[in-house]
Amino acid sequence: MLKLGKSTIKKHLKNLTREELEAEILNITRIYPIIQEHYFSILFPDSEEVLEKYKKIIEKEFGHHKGEILRYPIVKQAIKDFSNVSTNKEQIAELMIFTVECGVDFTLSYGDIDEKFYRTISSIYEQALKYIVDNQLEEEFVDRCNELTQSSQGIGWGFGDWMMELYSDYLGHMDEEEDLK
């Protein structure tokens, strides 16, 4: 794959007039929809239009025909792509939690899956919890995360135990604070 260094690109951009630079950006947004999504997210950070697009991608993967294998790379790529285009931290956390909710609902609807499925979903849950804590979004998500943890109990392969442990590691202090009130 061809790769240009930052300095080469900067040099090119410095040689452009303002009008040429604007034309360049407009052309890039026309060619690459993901860049248009990025600018949309910057200009309208509270809009859920882009978030809904990525939720539909994830939902479609979990809504596959019952017998088909879940395409984990598509789910993970949707989270990664949205995290790259969005500037709204709460929406990024929302997409990760939504993905875990889809995973828990999927296994509750169709029964035991396999170890890879549970490792993938619990890994996304851990990433979500870490992101939530790092961005101080605990208040916004603690109830949903607790509900997710509770609904995962009894699911095979130790999944419920992993979910409980992760919740406790990242948000367990929230329960203690609630008890003190």
Residue-wise pLDDT for 128-144, tens only, equals: 999 999 999 999 999 99
Q: What is the pLDDT of residue 178?
A: 56
Write out residues in the chain with pLDDT < 50, as ranges: 180-181
What pLDDT is attached to residue 177? 57
pLDDT at 146: 96
The pTM assigned to this predicted structure is 0.89
The rounded distance, in Å, linking the Cα atoms of 93 and 105 is 18
> Within 13 Å, how many C-alpha atoms sit on residue 80's CB side?
6
38-57 per-residue burial string, b: 16 or more CB within 10 A, e: under 16: bebbeeeeeeeebbeebbeb
